[in-house]
Structure 1
Amino acid sequence: MTTPTTTGHRPENLILGAGLTSAAFFCVALVGALAKVSGQYASTGALLLCQNVVGLLFVIPIAARGGWTFVRTDRIGLHLLRAAAGTACWYALFFAIARVPLANATLLTYSAPLWMPLIAWTVSRQRVSPLTWVGAGLGFVGVMLVLQPRAASFSAGELSALAGALFLAIAMTSVRWLGATEPMARVLFYYFLLSTCMAVPFAIVDWRPLPTGAWMWLAALGLAQLFSQALIVLAYRYAPAEKVGPFIYSVIVFTALIDWLVWHRPPTLVVYAGMALVVGGGLIAVRARAADPKLE
């Protein structure tokens, strides 16, 4: 199988790719905050299904206008991989949040960039700059400072969150490959279509009646998920996943800010130091290509 790293790919722009990735993960932070509220009313399966159905409702009209030309694809395998990995990641995260502290679950799940260079190398044997590894490492240290996780043995929830990190890394890498040859609207269409189908069994198994007030939160959750997916697909048209991957840590910064503004829990000096490392690690990764022109 040839690796779609160049065909149909726009000229690389790491700054733009990093900005779009950060915007995408701001939306992901909103998904987490909205899931925290919605989880009081709905089961994990219902959260998973609703966040995909909202996105599907938005992309179906686009697909209908485009007809067969729009939906035809030669990369159905990659679409399936991306949808399966994304669905598994979200379910694992929602499962973990219900069983362990949110900080621990988020820390483990969003360690995904640490796996991304390894995945890229394993699949394509593409060289990864040492500076990318350094940036990812610094970003992870920053996450540790922001979250200050408690030392404890792994529980089922924590193992679930760690599995979510692997699934997320696979999903993000597959988005990069799809974005090289597929239009954004088609990528979104197949993601929401396939993910909705995959989420139905989970929702059926643990479905419970929803109060009227829950639907507003679930709709907002779906919209935030839609924007996060659109932005991440667009971001990977401009930069490789393993290079902008450290910017996934920005979700931790955004979550801390939301926690401060909404739940009135301001960051400490240690948290500020962690945020600085998150940003610094991301900037180092962005500069990796310039520091090593032999890449790609």
Structure 2
Amino acid sequence: MRAKANRARKTDARIRELDLRAADVTHGIAAPLAFAHRWAPTKRTGQPRYGASYAASCHNRAALTPGNAHVIKGVLLGFACYAAYACSDAFVKLLEGSLPAYEAVFFGAVLALAALPFLKKSGDRWREVVVSKRPGLWLLRALAGAIGNVSAVMAFTALPMAEAFALIFLLPIFVTILSVIFLKEHVGWRRWSAVIVGFLGVLVVLRPGFRQLGPGHAAAIVCGIAGALSIIALRMAGPHEKRITLYGAGVIGPMIAGAVLMLPAFVWPDAHQWFLLLGYGLLAAAGAVLLMLATQNAPANRIAPTQYSQMLWAIVFGYFLFNDTLDWPMLIGIALILGAGLFTFVREEKKTNWWRRTKVVGGAGSA
């Protein structure tokens, strides 16, 4: 009996360890195989490997222990994380294009390195920020990060915050399309319906032919596509890469690209611009750390929907800081895009469990 109890304790400890690994951040999750093994039916009985009694005991422990408090804490930290990301985007918008976008991206990426000491685990090495087990995917994420960050700065500079976020939040729709192309995933009619609804929302927001469109709209859509490519790279990397490596790609790529592209038109920031750049970069770093803390307290798939709270912040900041106005057609279009994106995320998670397999997941402005 004592040996059986010891085995049970070891099993519980191992499951907790795997669940914690599965929740590791960025946008940023590593144990789908262990989860599948835990609940897979055995060949002999056809029942879950650890039995219905074990499942019931887990459920009861979740209901009776402080675990639920940890989940609530994790979700609240998730809201704090995406509030930090939204504030970061507001700081870069406050620059009002006074610095080239490449320069803002460079300094933002340099400052975002401040999160690395908090994301680094005891067994990690600093060289693993740039040394990857799958260099091709690391480079893809670095390139996507560079394009996404530059596009985000251009979009937030040119557009009302809510409108920019609405177009960037096409990201889950683009993930669905790219997963068919690159991952050969089967997408059912529900997700294709969400794709159609999302693009209808874009038409309502943009209203081509009825209002003037500019580079900012194109930049926001490009940012969403770049973010989707980054997520495809994360899904392909799966559990093979460490969190510090995945985060490094998303920071080093924008830093190098920004450094090269800013040289021809470099402008030394004044004191006010330095303040805004510090807010932009350090708040993005704070968002990454908060997301890590959030997913240490709650399952990552509970945290992910909190990213849509950025739209509320965008509306508040837009109204009070930038005098943005949103008409009813734009609000309806935003609702269609957000609803389609959230539905797509839920279906993606249900079908593929991809969020659990990814260690780094970022905000809209941190592609």
Give the TM-score, by structure 2 length. 0.59
Q: Is the 8 A contact 1:46 1:207 kept in 2?
A: yes
Alignment of 1:198-209 (within 5 A): 198-209=257-268
C-alpha change, 1:140 and 1:85, in structure 2 (3 Å) is same
**Larger Rg belongs to:** 2
What SS does the aligned partner of 2:277 have?
helix
Q: Is the 8 A contact 1:100 1:157 kept in 2?
A: yes
1:46 aligned onto 2:124: no
Which amino acid is 1:195 matched to? P
Q: Which of these residues, 63, 83, 88, is aligned with residue 31 of structure 1?
A: 88
Alpha carbon RMSD of aligned pairs, Å? Answer: 4.4
Which amino acid is 1:81 matched to? L
Which amino acid is 1:169 matched to? A
Q: Find the counterpart in structure 1 of residue 115 from structure 2.
A: 58
Q: Find the counterpart in structure 1 of residue 154 from structure 2.
A: 95
Q: Distance in 1 between matches of 2:186 and 2:79?
A: 24
Q: Find the counterpart in structure 2 of residue 162 from structure 1.
A: 221
Which amino acid is 2:267 matched to? R
Q: Find the counterpart in structure 1 of residue 141 from structure 2.
A: 82
**Cα displacement (A) at 1:136:** 4.6
Q: Is the 8 A contact 1:253 1:275 kept in 2?
A: no
Q: Is the 8 A contact 2:105 2:258 kept in 1?
A: yes
Bigger mean CA deviation after superposition, 190-199 or 62-71:
62-71
C-alpha change, 1:284 and 1:19, in structure 2 (3 Å) is farther
What SS does the aligned partner of 2:241 have?
coil
**Cα displacement (A) at 1:93:** 3.2
Q: Distance in 2 between matches of 1:172 and 1:184?
A: 14
**Cα displacement (A) at 1:206:** 2.2
Q: Distance in 2 between matches of 1:7 and 1:40?
A: 40
Q: Is the 8 A contact 2:149 2:254 kept in 1?
A: no
What SS does the aligned partner of 2:271 have?
coil
CA offset digits 1:92-112 (Å, max 9, x no partner): 233345556666655444423
Q: Distance in 2 between matches of 1:208 and 1:173?
A: 35
C-alpha change, 1:21 and 1:165, in structure 2 (3 Å) is farther
C-alpha change, 1:103 and 1:261, in structure 2 (3 Å) is closer
Q: Is the 8 A contact 2:148 2:227 kept in 1?
A: yes
C-alpha change, 1:188 and 1:224, in structure 2 (3 Å) is same
Which amino acid is 2:109 matched to? N
**Cα displacement (A) at 1:81:** 0.7
Gaps of 5+ in 2: 1-28, 37-70, 355-367
Q: Distance in 1 between matches of 2:151 and 2:165?
A: 11
Alignment of 1:189-200 (within 5 A): 189-200=248-259
Q: Find the counterpart in structure 1 of residue 44 from structure 2.
A: none
Alignment of 1:134-149 (within 5 A): 134-138=193-197
C-alpha change, 1:194 and 1:93, in structure 2 (3 Å) is closer
Which amino acid is 2:234 matched to? V
1:215 aligned onto 2:274: yes
Aligned residues: 281
Q: Find the counterpart in structure 2 of residue 173 from structure 1.
A: 232
Give the TM-score, by structure 1 length. 0.70
Which amino acid is 1:202 matched to? L
Q: Is the 8 A contact 2:173 2:341 kept in 1?
A: no
Q: Is the 8 A contact 1:104 1:149 kept in 2?
A: no
Q: Is the 8 A contact 2:109 2:255 kept in 1?
A: yes
Q: Distance in 1 between matches of 2:141 and 2:307?
A: 17
CA offset digits 1:156-204 (Å, max 9, x no partner): 4444443333222212322344453323233213332333122211222
Q: Distance in 2 between matches of 1:136 and 1:251?
A: 21
What SS does the aligned partner of 2:240 have?
coil
Which amino acid is 1:166 matched to? I
